Amino acid sequence: MFATAVNMFKNKDIRKRILFTCAMLFIFRFGANIPVPNVDTGALLAGTDSNSLLAMMNLLGGGHFQQFSIFAMGVGPYITGSIIIQLLSMDVIPALTELSKQGQTGRKVIDRYTRYLGVVLCFFQAATMTYAFDKTYHLLLNNSFASYIFVAIVLTAGTMFLLWIGDQISAKGIGNGVSMIIFAGIVANLPGQFKSTYDTLVTAETAGANGMLSFLLYIVVYLVIIVLVVLMTEATRRIPIQYTSSTVIKGKTNELTYLPLKINSASVIPVIFASSVMIAPVTIATFITQNDFTRAMQKVLSFQTWTGLAIYVVLILLFTFFYTNLQVDPEKISENLGKSGTYIPGVRPGAETKNYVSKVLNRITVLGSISLAFIAVLPYVIPLVNPAFANTNVGLGGTGIIIVVGVALETVKSLTSQATQKAYRGFIAR
């Protein structure tokens, strides 16, 4: 593995891509420490420690929301916009559906629409969040209307600049630019997360005698989650396919190949969706006058109760099935198999192939959704079982690790693919 990494770095093209990616991420980290003017970050710091929504946004922003930097909104509005556009492209808006079928040209137009929607969502989210936080935590030093608009414009400009950095990484660097930005933010926040947990469990005055043992358990949980995420991300169900005799190249045998279907095609998206659905009502309730209904809702939807975790699991299962159906289309798979002259042994082409792929996809999605729900819920269960972890941020670890491990694996695959292509081209040139 180490030798492979060294050989990749010796490659001039790959080395330039790696260094370019590092330079872009350095700019990202530098800007993440530039606070928005006219903001009291200390007031927001207290809020992120007690608000689950702010903690989740802070996680996806790598701690930058906590500092209320110019990159505080991260790439979340763009991701939300892309999800909305994807949903609208599913026969909801015929024009978008037609664009989605036009290949690369259509995808460029859809991406442009996504960015426009991302700007609108970012400005609206930034303005409303700034107003709500100012009323709750007294965020702004000067809470005039012009100040709200100024902060919203600065945050929107920061998000758009992050998207530009992501585009540059995708074109001239390694991996997916947007994913790399999220990855870098979470990784940058991990040392502080471990340090705060160590201080809470070991060095704090309230720490018990078994503080070090609890911290070691905390590390073990992280390692277990990493192993489970790797297994879940890499696991595939291979459906055997075979070429028809007319498509077999002369001199080659008609050997079986495989159609790989990922166990978890939805990645971490269902976890983010489920968290948002549960946290949004609770967060809205914190900005209004408290009553019996709001207090009951906050208790039911809390991640610190078994009832809230049960609802969380159900939402993850539902969103996993929903997003998997968006990502994988059995009808399109059946059409592609027919066009390429391949078939599944024992299954007739056409509708029967579509039904077979759908049945297999539903079965593996059951396993994938259960695995995803287990990984996401496990860190929240630990504080309920062991109260020593009640004041730590271990609950966010599952989501963060799913993102980090997934992006890391995809980046390694991208580097390996580029190295293989370079070697192949060099071989052909000789």
Per-position DSSP letters for 134-149, written without gaps between them: HHHH--BSS--HHHHH
pLDDT at 87: 75
* Whether residue 134 has pLDDT greater than 60: yes
pLDDT at 288: 67
Mean pLDDT, rounded, of the chain: 77
Distance separating alpha carbons of residues 110 and 100, to the nearest angstrom: 7
pLDDT at 401 over 70: yes
Q: What angle is formed at CA 277 by the lines to CA 397 and CA 82, rounded to 5 degrees?
A: 85
The C-alpha R_g of the chain, in whole angstroms, comes to 24
Summarize pLDDT for 311-347 with one digit per residue, the tens: 888 988 988 888 888 778 888 888 888 888 888 888 8
pLDDT attached to residue 209: 63
Longest dimension (CA), the chain: 78
Which pLDDT belongs to residue 157? 92
Q: How far, CA to CA in Å, does 247 sit from each of 242, 250, 252, 254, 331?
A: 10, 9, 10, 9, 22
Strand-pairing partners, residue 256, are 242
Domain boundaries, the chain: 14-189, 208-430
Q: 14-189: which CATH topology?
A: Preprotein translocase SecY subunit (1.10.3370)
Alpha helices (H) in 292-350, listed in sequence order = 292-300, 306-327, 330-339
Structure tokens at 54: 């702010």
Q: Nearest-CA neighbor of 138 among 228, 69, 215, 40?
A: 40
Instruction: Count CA within 13 A, CB hemisphere, residue 362.
Output: 6
The per-residue pLDDT for 354 is 87
Percent of the chain with pLDDT over 90: 3
8 A C-beta contact, residue 84 and residue 96: no
Neighbours of 211 (CB within 10 A): 18
Whole-Å CA distances, 86 to 90, 163, 262, 342:
7, 18, 20, 29
> Matching CATH topology for 14-189 and 208-430?
yes
In this structure, which amino acid lies at residue 257?
T
Higher pLDDT: 58 or 296? It is: 296
pLDDT digits (tens, 9 = 90+) for 215-262: 887 788 778 888 888 888 888 888 888 877 655 544 444 556 888 888
DSSP secondary structure code for residue 202 in this structure: I
Which range has the worst mean pLDDT, 116-120, 158-162, 250-254? 250-254
Residue 4 is predicted with a pLDDT of 58
Phi-psi label, residue 341: left if phi above 0, alpha if psi -120 to 50, beta otherwise:
left
pTM summary value? 0.76
**What pLDDT band is residue 427 in, cutting at 50, 70 and 90?**
very low
Q: How far apart are CA 414 and CA 62, in angstroms?
A: 23
Distance CA 168, CA 173 (A): 7
Q: In this prediction, what percent of the chain has a pLDDT beyond 70?
A: 79
* DSSP 8-state code for residue 209: T
Segment 411-426 shows an average pLDDT of 67
Q: How far apart are CA 402 and CA 407, in angstroms?
A: 9
Helix or strand (DSSP H, E) at 242 = strand 236-243
CA distance 339 to 258: 16
pLDDT category at 161 given cuts 50, 70, 90 is very high
Write the CA distances from 378 to 47, 224, 277, 309, 375, integer angstroms. Answer: 25, 10, 19, 10, 5
Mapped onto helix, strand or coil, the DSSP state of residue 264 is coil
* Structure tokens, 10: 């010796």
Q: Tell me the CATH number for domain 208-430.
A: 1.10.3370.10
Beta bridge partners of residue 236, listed in sequence order? 262
Where is 245: in which H helix or E strand? Answer: none
Q: Is the pLDDT of residue 282 over 60?
A: yes
Reduced to 3 states (helix: H, G, I; strand: E, B; else coil), residue 47 is helix
Give the separation between CA 289 and CA 296, rounded to whole angstroms: 13
pLDDT at 181: 85
